[in-house]
Amino acid sequence: MEHDKEEVRVVIFDLNGTFYNESSKDEFYKFILTKRPKRIKYLLQMGYYNLLLKLHQIRQTEFKENFFNYLDDLPPAQVEAYAKEFWEREFPSNFNQDLMHRFDEFKAQNIVLFCATGGLELYVKPLFDLYKIDAFAGTKVTYNGHTYLADGLACKAEEKIARLEQYLKGKPYKIIEAYSDSKEEILNRADRAFLVEDGEITPYQQKEAA
């Protein structure tokens, strides 16, 4: 019973601009254009929703639903097939090699590796078939036969912590390290936190021992 109370050691990291050097929502769109050139028509619409988000006129969840309209009328199996091809092309050359080395060391120590990203789980999942980690969480969507609708909140800010806790199913845990390209909640919760800017990993916050 005492063993069950041991803290699970976790390393949590963002995907875009962190482990993956680019923005997957943008790069995946460019990839989709190579398959479906007529979807260039969504470019103006995507720019419009980007602007609304920057002006704080819409929430992250609403932004995700509308930005990804370029996937309209592509059923999940087709999107997943495209995503598999996309990630096979991107991995590992367009990933942060220093981070990958660190993650490999954590794997050897049986530390839980958890990716929390705002990207859609629908297209992120094939990446982690290529590079195995313990678990990942992204923005969930459902397909209504035409478009993709958010299923719950976008996986941003506090929601990333909620999704980690959901995965751990009530087990006590400690985030020993966190990595992101932005100053977000996962960094504030970690014993050691790092910002990743232009591929460079720099300390963000280090809590003093109690």
Map out the domains of the chain as residue ranges. Answer: 2-206
Residues 145-154 have pLDDT tens digits of 999 999 999 9
Whether 58 shows a pLDDT value over 80: the answer reads no
> How far apart (Å, rounded) are the C-alpha atoms in residues 7 and 100?
24
Query: Could you name the CATH architecture of 2-206?
Result: 3-Layer(aba) Sandwich (3.40)
Using the structure block, give the residue that is written with the tokens 């839980």.
112
Please give the mean pLDDT across all residues of the chain: 91
Residues 1-30 have pLDDT tens digits of 445 578 999 999 999 999 999 999 889 999
What sign results for the dihedral spanned by CA atoms 131, 192, 199, 25?
positive
Residues 83-142 have pLDDT tens digits of 999 999 999 999 999 999 999 999 999 999 999 999 999 999 999 999 999 999 999 999
Segment 162-191 shows an average pLDDT of: 97
Cis before 92? omega within 30:
yes
Query: Which of 63-67, 91-95, 179-183, 184-188 is predicted with the least confidence, judged by mean pLDDT?
Result: 63-67
